[in-house]
Amino acid sequence: MRPGRSRPLTLTRRALGTRFAGAAAAIGFGNGTAASAMQDPVPVLNPDLRDAALRGLALAGYRGDPVTAAAANAAIERLSESDPEGALLARIYQMLDVRPAQYQPEYVPEAAAADLATLHAAIRACQPVAFGYTDLSGNKTTRTVLPLALVHPPQGVKLLARCEERKDFRQFFVRAIRDLGLRAGNFTEERLALLEGLLEKEAGRSRPPGFPAAS
């Protein structure tokens, strides 16, 4: 190589995979498997930052860049080995979260910030919640649910949950929730299986992705 001429940049698939594995470890994904290969342990990522990273991976396929999309899918696939919950959430976000180019309604009522804070905390703690709910037809019911995730379609923030009354997965517009409160209990041991069931149900739908209206 002549002096002064920079070396051409080449990146093999193995090198690309190594970079993604290192990045995943650096941001705290997984149970420490990737980090254990390093001399210094990597601190666990803040839950908010972890969730934001998962959502970023999930939406990479909607940005018109197939290289970025393939790399994101590869990273999600690797997560299934070290962080199964993270991989399931990323797949759920891929199907149900906002697409950057998707139509946005002119006006979407906002969800109450206090309710969102309570739901985020309940999801992390795997704690049941109860609330009153008014569906799109104006019907009012009372629900006790196992909160699994929050997604952000154009119509407004939705809670994805296992409804104890309906014995099935349901979606709820957070803005239509009233009198939200925590309930005793902990479903940590069931959370992974519930996310798997949620993803399986969504993947098997023939119509466009989305939960059935709460009924």
Determine the pLDDT at residue 63: 80
List of the chain residues with pLDDT < 70: 1-45, 99-106, 205-215
Q: Are 35 and 41 in contact (CB under 8 A)?
A: yes
What's the angle, vertex CA 200, arms to CA 196 and CA 204, rounded to 5?
A: 175
Determine the pLDDT at residue 144: 98
d(CA 165, CA 18): 46
In what helix (H) or strand (E) does residue 158 lie, and over which residues does it extend?
strand 158-163
Q: Is the pTM of this model over 0.95?
A: no
Determine the pLDDT at residue 103: 58
Q: Are 124 and 174 in contact (CB under 8 A)?
A: no
Looking at every residue in the chain, the average pLDDT score rounds to 79
Sequence ranges of the domains in the chain: 13-96, 113-203
d(CA 67, CA 18): 16
d(CA 133, CA 47): 28
Determine the pLDDT at residue 107: 73
Name the CATH topology of 113-203. SH3 type barrels. (2.30.30)
Q: Are 45 and 29 in contact (CB under 8 A)?
A: yes
d(CA 60, CA 99): 9
CA distances from 199 to 29, 127, 205 (A): 20, 20, 10
Look up residue 19 and give its two tokens: 């970079």
Determine the pLDDT at residue 109: 81
Determine the pLDDT at residue 101: 52
Determine the pLDDT at residue 43: 54
Sequence-distant (6+) residues with CB within 8 A of 4 are none
